[in-house]
Amino acid sequence: MSELSVKHLLGIKYITKEDIELIFKTADHFKEVINRPIKKVPSLRDITIANLFFENSTRTKLSFELAEKRLSADVINFSAAASSVKKGETLIDTVNNILSMKVDMVVMRHPNPGAGVFLSKHINASIVNAGDGAHEHPTQALLDSFSIRERLGEVAGKNVVIVGDILHSRVALSNIYALKLQGANVKVCGPKTLMPKYIESLGVEVELDLRKALQWCDVANMLRVQNERMDISYFPSTREYTQQYGVNKALLESLDKEIVIMHPGPINRGVEITSDVADSGQAIILDQVENGVAVRMAIIYLLASKIKQ
Ligand code: CP
């Protein structure tokens, strides 16, 4: 297969195993490119991309911008906090005004689940979902799987546990779709109050005991508790959450094998993961960030190839 089955990357739910394989093969090439002394290729000289961020971001925003610049695309950046959204402009008016400046692709982070799907029905440009509320974060899941493949050789057959605030996590949902498509075994672990009711219908098992989950897995993907998406308390206190669901060095050393630790960031050090774990050789957190640029270059390059046809 030499092209993606989709015009937009709105979620892992909408793509195939073959799409993931093509993205990874292309990302392998771009990873080699970004480790050269000259890190830039002229592939997208005639493409203009708008990065629209209606919600805060550090990693995703910078990673997309760098990926686009490494591909020689023209890039414009929009941040809702400093825009006319504050004066009441709608999403479609905002995007149509930006598109009238001859933009080919939109990378969008938005607090509302489904914002990218909604936009795709109203505009012609290609859309990449950079995180929509608690729905999906497809590029994060792809860079996560790419990093597992890099560290362990393959994703198929690996045992992966996603730990923490599953209920509010777009990273969890996209990772579940991506890992299952590639043939990994997936469990989720966290307080019962932070488990969506539909979770088992996605083909994952719930394990409430962190020690058992870690003993089972090859990879633990530790999630942040998303206090900003909570209007009520889902557990008695942060201290109790950490006692039950935080990973520290002593816990990892008590297992009879060495597991890989992942985290999408931003980390709450000392809450879901201690510094001696986050900064250890078992953690591939900064590899995930590095791989994010190559994976996003691959996605943008492959989507742009469809625009050029
Ligand atoms: N992992 C992630 O999406 O981080 P940011 O919110 O900083 O983009």
Stretch 128-153: mean pLDDT: 98
Lowest average pLDDT, out of 69-78, 104-113, 225-234, 295-304, goes to 225-234
12-136+291-307 is a CATH 3.10.20.740 domain:
no
Distance from the CA of 60 to the center of ligand 1, in angstroms? 5
At residue 22 the predicted structure's pLDDT band, cuts being 50, 70 and 90, is very high
264 lines ligand 1 (CB under 6 A): yes
Q: Does ligand 1 come within 6 angstroms of the Cβ of 288?
A: no
Best mutation site among 52, 60, 64, 65 for ligand 1, i.e. most ligand atoms within 8 A of its Cβ? Answer: 60
Question: Out of 16-25, 123-132, 226-235, which region has the weakest mean confidence (pLDDT)?
Answer: 226-235
Alpha carbon of 109 to ligand 1 centroid (Å): 10
pLDDT tens for residues 73-92?
A: 999 999 888 778 878 889 88
Calculate the average pLDDT of the chain: 94
Residue 308 has pLDDT above 70, yes or no: no
Binned at pLDDT 50, 70 and 90, residue 298 comes out as very high
Gap from CA of 58 to ligand 1 centroid (Å): 6
Tell me: the pLDDT tens digits for 267-280? 999 999 999 999 99
Q: 23 C-alpha vs ligand 1 centroid, how far in Å?
A: 20
Please work out whether the CB of residue 270 comes within 6 Å of at least one atom of ligand 1: no
Task: Tell me what the mean pLDDT of segment 6-31 comes to.
Answer: 98
Question: Domain 138-288: which topology?
Answer: Rossmann fold (3.40.50)
What's residue 79's pLDDT?
87
Residue 61 CA: which ligand 1 atom is closest? 8
pLDDT at 236 over 80: no
Per DSSP, the residues of the chain read --S-S-SSB--GGGS-HHHHHHHHHHHHHHHHHHTSSS----TTTT-EEEEEESS--SHHHHHHHHHHHHTT-EEEEEEGGGSGGGGT--HHHHHHHHHTTT--EEEEEESSTTHHHHHHTT--SEEEEEEETTTB-HHHHHHHHHHHHHHHS-STT-EEEEES--TT-HHHHHHHHHHHHTT-EEEEES-GGGS-TTGGGGT-EE---HHHHHHH-SEEEEPPP-GGG-SS-SSS-HHHHHHHH-B-HHHHHTSSS--EEE--S---BTTTB-HHHHTSTTB-HHHHHHHHHHHHHHHHHHHHHHHH-
Kindly state if the Cβ of 63 falls inside 6 Å of ligand 1: no
Nearest CA, atom 4, ligand 1: 59
- The yes-or-no answer to whether 12-136+291-307 and 138-288 have a common fold is yes
Mean pLDDT in residue range 15-28: 98
Spell out the domain ranges in the chain.
12-136+291-307, 138-288
Q: Residue 225: what pLDDT?
A: 84
**According to the model, what pLDDT value does residue 26 have?**
98
